[in-house]
Structure 1
Amino acid sequence: MDTKKVAFYTLGCKLNFSETSTIARSFKDEGFNRVEFSETADIYVINTCSVTENADKRFKTIVKQAQKTNEEAFVIAVGCYAQLKPEELAAVDGVDLVLGATEKFKITDYLNDLSKNDHGEIHSCEIKEADFYVGSYSIGDRTRAFLKVQDGCDYKCTYCTIPLARGISRSDTLTNVLQNAKEISERDIKEIVLTGVNIGDYGKGEFGNKKHEHTFFELVQALDKVEGIERLRISSIEPNLLKNETIDFVAGSKAFVPHFHIPLQSGSNELLKLMRRRYMKELYVDRVARIKKAMPHACIGVDVIVGFPGETDELFLETYNFLNELNISYLHVFTYSERENTVAAKMNGVVPKNVRSKRSKMLRGLSVKKRRAFYESQLGSIRNVLFEGENKEGYIQGFTENYVKVKAPWHPDLVNTIQEVELTKIDKDGLVRFDFIKEAVIQ
């Protein structure tokens, strides 16, 4: 009997990548052979995202791509969009099976019959039933691993569908996280990125238990002791949950790197209240100042939403000026898009789409300027670079511990190694060139 082949496509966040890897391992355990998405497979699994309008649209394109490669293949949709709008996905031509938030981790249980269906079959729970935790981590895809430590969210931000797609906040046990980290370290993976929906809320148990068994700070302390991990990176953490003790610990840690990604969403307190965020901009200023005092060379990334209902020209400029003056390193800019079943979708003061687009461009321009200024501030410094595995037009790329992206002429011996370098100049493409500190880096 031929070994069945399965291919995966992941849309969205680091958390989705870690879960795709876990789902892929369950296929491997059942005797499937994993192939690239561009190759012919018997089953194509698409892990969906619902954060932006674009992710919704891209899904149909990816299904078409799978069908073009093998029109007889069985196509499965999982992930956030599959939980929120299973009927919509099931109706897409070529989709055979749609699995919701709890079902995606039992995916191989649904593979008794791989015949093509006229209409996608749906197995999707009520989101309140998504009250158990499945640990995940990604390996084999990259130089770094994404380690999931938490899922779901108890926050009620008015623009967000994630609580509807992923359920309540719940966490992995500390024992489990440490075991997963140990498994990753044994595979010669140099960097672990902690991921989740709201990782600063780490410690809440299963079944809606609001009590924290452990805190995020305790998680950080415990992971720092795991042997064999060169780097640990905190992916994205809410400003109100990033405590002084964590910042100070990272500043003194050998494993945790000086890089924080902290969602802001708006530099206007008026809009932060409409968004139901759990802080005002003054707290954000305080967090940035605390990080920079403890680690002047730290990289700080910011999430920001433009075009939220009620965002007048004045309020947008308030955000722009706030970010311009803030000592941050880059922005992730999200253009607001209306999501069904959210409070914001019914709000007054809708911003026209062309205005949203214009504001988005302005902030993306500011991000380029901020990143350039941060890179310039790092020239002349000595940093450690973890090199990635891809040959990009004759160059190898990598990141310093504080997230400066560098490039060097391609050499396979550099892949997945950490090298000490001096940052020397910024190339035309915005990446940084360097000199090796030690002569015999490449044998």
Structure 2
Amino acid sequence: MKNSGRSVAFYTLGCKLNFSETSTIGRMFEKRGYQKVDFHEKADIYIINTCSVTDNADKKCRKVVREARSISPDAYICILGCYAQLKPKEIAEIPGVDAVLGAAEKFRLLDLLDGFKRSETVQVLASDVGEANTYQHAFSIHDRTRTFLKVQDGCNYHCTFCTIPLARGKSRSDKIDNIVDTAHEIAQTDVKEVVLTGVNIGDFGIVNGKREERFIDLVKALDEVAGIDRIRISSIEPNLLSNEIIAFVAQSQRFVPHFHIPLQSGSNKTLRLMRRRYLRELYVDRVQKIKQLMPQACIGVDVIVGFPGESEEDFLETYQFLNELPISYLHVFTYSERANTPAVEMDGVVPKKERSKRSKMLRILSEKKKRKFYEENVGRSGVVLFEDDVQNGQMHGFTENYVRVTAKYDPLLINELKPVKLTKLNEDGLMEVEEAETVYEVH
């Protein structure tokens, strides 16, 4: 397909998995001769990769479409991703949209959209999610300091609040050998850290509907890839985070002591209503095992407030459960009704004002947990990977156990690993650290 040097811009909503896929699609365009430009620049084509975890993500999609159309009134605008799979007709009605592609079509958009020529009719190419049954590898590169490496897609779990199986299909994975080859390719670049991502990465190993490999074997194979300094595991279900995985990370060459483990609720009653595959007792066991082997490990937690049937007593049970756990931070989600999920039909709807109140309480708890975690790290040494993230003359980075550092901007520090000593928290709750004669801060 000839493109006459046309330009294309991308915008990604949602998770690390979406970022890995947007980056891969971007490279497909560049191989066809398209010029990739920043989203705020005028482009011939805009590709918007969407999320649909919350209603807020849907609203963001509309806003991004308006922004693209205002920057370049005559551009071709294509929407893909989870929201596009779930509600293609709804998106087609958004003013300014030219095409909508579903999960099975998004990686073929260069061939399906016939040169990206605008017409009066919106092209909607979104087949049933059951058609999304092949695995498409993806990884991000040159978009951020860290690289997001996709290792798994889809989900066979059917939590009552979640639309992801409806948007991405069944669990499926690449083969370990292929992922290791990609890791070697990444290792030839200047990337210092790789983040493993997917929908349910602990369920890694299903190929053509059958389990062929295990996540622990992938972890062991990637640990042998020279040229990558750090590997970070993104969100992993507690029932799939085995003691074997935890023990391996504890003595690993490259895997860092940072785990993000979805909890969703500290009430067993609510966990059963959510159709989660564990109870709170198992969650405690996983956290204790991590802290036993890696006392300074960072543990992040996903939690949903206001799920149907969650009483004040259930919420306080969750609050107390989290308060007593040695965790490092929370990602708090206010429950939002999602079409075609069992939770929509459940009794005991929590008023939105109450949901907001509970969410605020947990966000305050998260700040307390984060401060305590940082205080526990005072006096320790760490290694910071500085990112190209500059705000008001300050740059930022993370230690291996996910302590965020800010320092006076120095272009020579970008994408560099620097040993530091975490010295003290200042009055603003920032942690000062020392490296050579330079003083940095952590927040």
The bucket for the TM-score relative to the shorter chain is over 0.9
In structure 1, what residue type is equivalent to 2:431? V
How far residue 170 of structure 1 moved from its aligned partner, in angstroms, is 0.3
Q: Which amino acid aligns with 2:385?
A: L
CA distance in 2, matches of 1:172, 1:117: 37
* Distance apart, 1:412 and its partner CA: 0.8
- Residue matched to 1:176: 178
CA contact (8 A) 1:91 1:119 kept: no
1:304 lines up with 2:303 in the alignment? yes
Residues 82-104 of structure 1, C-alpha deviations (whole Å, 9 max, x = no match): 00000001110000000000110
Q: TM-score, normalised by structure 1?
A: 0.97
Structure 1 residue 185: deviation in Å?
1.1
Shift of residue 250 of structure 1?
0.3
Tell me how far apart the structure 1 counterparts of residues 186 and 361 of structure 2 sit (CA, whole Å).
40
| Residue-pair matches, total | 438
- Change in Cα spacing, 1:92 to 1:311, as seen in structure 2 (3 Å) is same
108 and 431 in structure 1: CA distance in 2 versus 1, 3 angstrom threshold: farther
2:13 to 11, 14, 17: 11
Q: Displacement, 1:115?
A: 3.2
Does the 8 Å CA contact 1:81/1:165 hold for their aligned counterparts?
Answer: yes
Aligned to 1:384: 383
After TM superposition, the structure 1 = structure 2 runs for residues 280-291 of structure 1, keeping only pairs within 5 Å, are 280-291=279-290
Aligned in 2, Cα 1:2/1:427: closer, same or farther, shift over 3 Å?
farther
Q: Answer yes or no: is the 8 Å Cα contact 1:405–1:431 preserved in 2.
A: no
Query: Which ranges in structure 1 are unaligned for 5 or more consecutive residues?
Result: none
Q: Give the match for residue 225 of structure 1.
A: 224
Match of 2:422 in 1: 423
Amino acid at match of 1:382: S
Quick check: 1:404–1:432 contact (8 Å CA) kept in 2? no
Q: What SS does structure 1 have at the residue aligned with 2:195?
A: strand
Matching residue of 2:351 = 352
After superposition, the C-alpha distances for 1:113-156 in whole angstroms (9 at most, x for unaligned) are 43333342101111111110000000001111000000000001
Aligned-partner Cα distance in 2 for 1:15–1:23 = 13
Which residue is 1:145 aligned to?
147
CA RMSD between the two structures: 1.5
1:313-352 equivalences under 5 Å are: 313-352=312-351
Report the 3-state secondary structure (helix = DSSP H, G, I; strand = E; otherwise coil) of the residue aligned with 1:241.
coil
1:31 matched to 2:33: yes
1:111 positional shift: 3.3
Distance in 1, matches of 2:11 and 2:200, equals: 24
SS of residue in 1 equivalent to 2:287: helix
Measure the CA separation in 2 of the matches of 1:113 and 1:191: 36
Give secondary structure in 1 for the equivalent of 2:388.
coil
Contact 1:405 1:432 (C-alpha < 8 Å) held by counterparts: no
Displacement after TM superposition at 1:110 (Å)? 2.5
Counterparts of 1:189 and 1:428 in 2: how far apart (Å)? Answer: 35
Q: How much does 1:373 deviate?
A: 0.5
* Distance verdict in 2 for CA 1:95–1:429, change over 3 Å: farther
Which runs of 5 or more structure 2 residues have no equivalent in the other structure?
A: none
After TM superposition, give the deviation of residue 437 of structure 1 in Å.
Answer: 4.8
**Residues 32-71 of structure 1 mapped to structure 2, 5 A cutoff:** 32-71=34-73
Secondary structure of 2:111's counterpart equals helix
Q: 1:60 to 1:427 in 2, by over 3 A?
A: farther
Helix, strand or coil for the counterpart of 2:185?
helix
Alpha-carbon separation, structure 1, partners of 2:309 and 2:401? 36
The CA deviation at 1:112 is 1.9
How far the C-alpha of 1:427 sits from its partner, in A, is 4.5
Contact 1:408 1:433 in 2 (8 A): no
Per-residue deviation at 1:428? 5.4
Q: Distance in 1 between matches of 2:117 and 2:5?
A: 17
Cα deviations by residue, 1:133-187 (Å, 9 ceiling, x for unpaired): 0000000011110000000000010000000000000001111110111111111
Question: 1:149 is aligned with what amino acid?
Answer: V
Output aligned runs, 1:18-417, within 5 Å.
18-206=20-208, 208-209=209-210, 212-417=211-416
Aligned identity (percent) is 60
> How far does the alpha carbon of each residue in 1:171-213 deviate from its partner, in whole angstroms, 9 at most, with x for none?
011111101111111111000000000000000002x22xx21
TM-score (norm 2): 0.97
